[in-house]
């Protein structure tokens, strides 16, 4: 039996959770789901410009785990852009950082634990 997945720490939930190509009806689009922890990996590495080790510390995970998470997030985003798909940001196993919230909450696939 595999180990239970640890909650990954994120600073906040994204305010905008859906992106799609302009002018294409939703009925004609495939959808890709980007987990909130994958979104956080992209934010820390690409937007904030942190090194992978720093990103991993912020998210309370190992550097190899961060690297796998980051690569999967980039693969999904590339698929969305190249193939003209919709992107939905939701779910995953994560908690809001204690610096941002006094209560530590762990979310699993969009549900509060």
For residue 74, being part of any structural domain is answered with yes
For residue 39, being part of any structural domain is answered with yes
- Give the pLDDT confidence score for residue 14 in this predicted structure: 93
Domain harbouring 96, CATH code = 1.20.140
For residue 2, being part of any structural domain is answered with no
For residue 85, being part of any structural domain is answered with yes
For residue 43, being part of any structural domain is answered with yes
**pTM to 2 decimals?**
0.83
Output the tens digit of pLDDT for each of the chain's 113 residues. 787 777 899 999 999 999 999 999 999 999 999 999 999 999 999 999 999 999 999 999 999 999 999 999 999 999 999 999 999 999 988 999 876 544 444 444 444 44
DSSP one-letter code for 11: S
DSSP string, 61-105: S-HHHHHHHHHHHHHHHHHHHHHT-EEEE---EEEE-TTT-SS--
Q: Which range marks the domain in which residue 29 is found?
A: 8-112
Domains in the chain: how many in total?
1
- Give the pLDDT confidence score for residue 111 in this predicted structure: 44
User: Taking Cα atoms as reference points, which of 45, 39, 47, 48 lies closest to residue 91?
Assistant: 39
For residue 27, being part of any structural domain is answered with yes
């Amino acid at each position: 039996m595999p180990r239970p997945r640890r909650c990954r720490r994120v600073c906040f939930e994204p305010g905008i959770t859906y992106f799609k190509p302009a002018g294409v009806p939703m009925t004609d689009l495939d959808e890709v789901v980007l987990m909130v922890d994958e979104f956080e990996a992209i934010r820390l590495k690409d937007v904030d410009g942190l090194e992978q080790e720093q990103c991993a510390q912020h998210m309370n995970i190992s550097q190899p785990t961060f690297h796998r998470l980051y690569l999967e997030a980039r693969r999904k985003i590339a698929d969305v852009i190249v193939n003209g798909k919709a992107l939905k940001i939701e779910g995953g196993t994560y908690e809001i950082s204690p610096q941002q919230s006094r209560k530590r909450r762990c979310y699993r696939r969009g549900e509060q634990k």
